[in-house]
Structure 1
Amino acid sequence: MDTMRDRFAPTLTRILDEDPRVAVVLAVIGADAFGEARRRHPGRVIDVGIREQLLIGAGAGLALTGMRPVVHTFASFLVERPFEQVKLDLGHQDAGAVLVSAAASYDWPAGGFTHMAPGDVALMDTLDGWTVHVPGHPDEAETLLRHAVAAGDDKVYVRLSTQSNTRALPVDGHGFLTVREGRRGVVVAVGTTLDAVLTATEHLDVTVLYATTVRPFDAESLRRATDSAGTDVVLVEPYLAGTSTPAASEALSDRPHRVLALGVGRRELRRYGTVEEHTAAHGLDPASLRERIGAFLGRRTAAA
C-alpha cells in the first residue's frame, strides 16, 4: 500500500490543474515529486531551498495576494524551526495557508531527533484559529487535503504519517466517527492509532471514537458518547501525550470525569531503532494499550 506522502504530490498536482489559485511552496524536501507539476505550472510550484523561515514567509506572501498556498516539508522544519513565522506571518497577518507535514513524531527514526516533532500539534495549539487534520490512512489523507485546500482562506495543518490503519473510514473533515459502542468508558483514537486501539479494546465494553480532525475538537461527539458510556475517557494520540487533555476536559467541564492521556512520551529515545520499536517504547502498541486502558477503566469494562 502506498503511504500518505506518496499520495500527496499526485493529489496536489491534480488540484493545481483544477484550481489556478493554488500554489505549492517547498524547501527542497519533496521537490522531485513535483517535476511534472512544475513543468505545467512553473509559477505555482516554488522551491525556496533549505530556508524554512522563508518557506513560511513565501507562503504567507502568496496568501496575501489572494493565492491558496500549500506549504510542505518535514514537521520539525515546518512547525518547530519556523514557528515565529507561523505565528506572525500567518497568524498575526491573518493569512490563510495549508501546512502539510511529513515524518512527524518518530516516523523516520534513522533521521534522529532533529527529524522528529512529537510536539507539533501541541505547539500549534498555542495559536488561534487553526484546523488540524490527522489522517490515519492514505485515502483519508487525500480526502482531508482536498478539504483543507477548499477551506477558503482558513489556516489548516495536515499531519501526514508513514504509518497507516488497514482501512480507510469515511472522514469528512469535521467530527469524530463512532467505530464501536460500549457502556463502560470512551476511548478516542486519533489517526494512525485506531487499529492498535481496536485490537487493545476488543474484549472491553467501551465506545471507540475515531478522530482525524482534532482541531476544532469535537466536544459534541465526546459528550454524546459519555451520555451512554460514562465519563471515563482515554485519549490515544500519535503525538505528545496529553495534547488534547485540556480540550476533552473542557468538553466535560460540567460533569465529573477522568481522563487518561496516552501518546508519545517526553523522554527522548536516543537509539534509532524502528518505528515499531518506538511505538512499543511509548506504550502505543496493542499489548501496552490493553494493559494501560484496562488498568484505568478497571475489570468492570470486560464485555459480557
Structure 2
Amino acid sequence: MTDTTTHDLPAVDHQDERGAAQRGWTGDAVIDLRSQFVATTRELLETDERTALVLAEISSDRFADLIDARPDRVINVGIREQLLLSTAAGLALSGLRPIAHTFGAFLIERAWEQVKLDLDHQKVGAVLVGSYGSYDWPAGGRTHQSPGDVALLDTLRGWTVHVPGHPAEVDAQLRAAVAGDDRVYLRIGGEPNAEPHDPTGWTRLRDGRRGTVVAVGPMLRATELAVRDLDVTLLYAPTIRPFDAGALRANLGRPRVVLVEPYLAGTSAAQVAEALLDLDHRQLGLGVGDPDRHRYGTPADHDRLHGLDPAGLRRRIESFVGE
C-alpha cells in the first residue's frame, strides 16, 4: 500500500456528456479513459504476438486497420455479445491472451452465461474490458447501464476486478492483465481523478480518527471533496477484487467503514464484513441505489439522484461517522 500526502482538488466540473469529459493523459497526449484502452491495446497488438482482441462492433472503428492487417488476432463478431465471449474463450484455449471489449452492460450482463460457462467453468483466462460504467450514457437508457456488473462477478470465484480512476491506471492494469493468464475484468467508466495512484494496491491519502472511507476508482474526486474537512482516513482503491483486507485493517482509526463504489451500493459489504470478522464494527455502503429509476438526464443528474455527488456523499458520511 502506498502512503501519500493529501492534495487539493478543483471543484468538480460535470458536463452533460461526462464520457466526453474523461480527461487524463498517456505520454504527452491528453485523452479519455476509453481512448487510453485503445492506445494501450493497439500497442500490445503490435508488440506481443500472444495478444488478441475480440470486439462486438463497439470500438471497431478504432481498430479497423488492425482488423484488416491481423484478422487472426483482431476479430469483430458484430452485434453478437455471446459470440464475443465464446470466441475469446476459444482464442484462450488456442494459447492466445484475448481481450474482449464492449459496453459493460453487454459484456457482463447480456453475455453472462458465456462468462459463467465458457470462461469461469472451464477455468479459461481472458481480459474483459467493459466501458460506460453504470450510467455514463443516460441517453442510451437502461439497456446501456450496468451498475450490477461487479455484483454478478462476485457470484464466481478467482476474478480480478480493476476499477481505474485515471488513464495511467488503465494503461498499467491492462498491461499487467495481458501479461497473465487469469480472468480479469477492467471496468472503465466515470469521471477521472486528477492524478494517478498505485494501480493495484490501496493508497492512503489522509489520516483521521473517526472512521475510514474507501473511494473506489472514479469515485475518488467526489469523495475527497466530500470529506476534505472531516476527521476520517481516506483510502483509494483502483483494484477491488481481490479485496485488500490487510490495507483496510491497517487503516482503521475507528471501526467505522464507508465504502464508496461506482456501481450497486453495498457490493463489497460481504468483503468488509469478512475482513473485520473479529472486530465489532459498523459499515456503510454508498453507490448506485435503485438501478432502474426510469430517468435519462445527464451523468451529473444521476450522481445527484443516487447521492454520489460531493454534497450527497457529505451528508451520508458526516452522519455515519458522527460529525
TM-score normalised by the chain length of structure 1? 0.95
Shift of 1:17: 1.3
For 1:94 and 1:70, how far apart are their aligned partners in 2? 16
Q: Please give the per-residue CA displacement for 1:43-92, whole angstroms capped at 9, x wherever unaligned.
A: 21100111111100000000111110000000110000110110000011
Task: Deviation per CA, 1:195-243: give whole Å up to 9, x if none.
Answer: 11111101111111100110000000000001xx111000000000000
2:264/2:291 contact within 8 Å kept: no
- 2: CA distance between counterparts of 1:119 and 1:3? 23
Partner residue in 2 for 1:207? 233
User: 1 CA distance for matches of 2:295 and 2:93?
Assistant: 43
Residues in 2 aligned to 1:11 and 1:84: alpha-carbon distance in whole angstroms: 28
Question: How many angstroms apart in 1 are the aligned matches of 2:317 and 2:287?
Answer: 12
Q: Give the RMSD, CA atoms, in angstroms.
A: 1.0
Q: Which stretch shows the higher mean deviation, 28-37 or 81-90?
A: 28-37
Q: Give SS of 2:98's match.
A: strand
Residue identity in the other structure for 2:83: L
Q: Does 1:266 align with 2:290?
A: yes
Partner of 2:215: 189
Report the Cα distance in structure 2 between the residues aligned to 1:166 and 1:276, rounded to whole angstroms.
18
Corresponding residue of 2:314: 290
For residue 90 of structure 1, what is the aligned residue in structure 2? 119
TM-score after normalising by structure 2: 0.89
Give the deviation of 1:162 after TM superposition: 4.6
CA drift of 1:36 comes to: 2.9
1:34-49 equivalences under 5 Å are 34-49=63-78
Q: Does 1:170 align with 2:198?
A: yes
What is aligned with 2:206?
180
SS in 1 for 2:251: helix
Corresponding residue number in structure 2 for 1:126: 155
Alignment partner of 1:64 out of 93, 97, 115: 93
Structure 2 Cα separation of the partners of residues 286 and 83 of structure 1? 33
User: What amino acid does structure 2 have at the position aligned with 1:9?
Assistant: V
In the other structure, the counterpart of 2:20 is: none
Distance 1:271 1:131 in 2: 31
Partner of 2:107: 78
Which residue of 2 is the match for residue 251 of structure 1? 275
Aligned to 2:165: 136
Structure 1: unaligned runs, 5 residues or longer: 300-304
| Paired residues for 1:140-159 under 5 Å | 140-151=169-180, 153-159=181-187
Q: Does the alignment pair 1:110 with 2:157?
A: no
**In 1, Cα distance between the equivalents of 2:69 and 2:36?**
19
Q: 8 Å contact 2:147–2:291 — kept in the other structure?
A: no
Q: Distance in 2 between matches of 1:288 and 1:115?
A: 24
SS in 2 for 1:159: strand
Secondary structure of 2:125's counterpart equals: coil
Question: Percent identical across equivalent pairs?
Answer: 56
Map of 2:10 onto structure 1: none
Q: Distance in 2 between matches of 1:170 and 1:103?
A: 23
Shift of 1:143: 1.3
Report the alpha carbon displacement of residue 7 of structure 1 after superposing the two structures with TM.
1.1
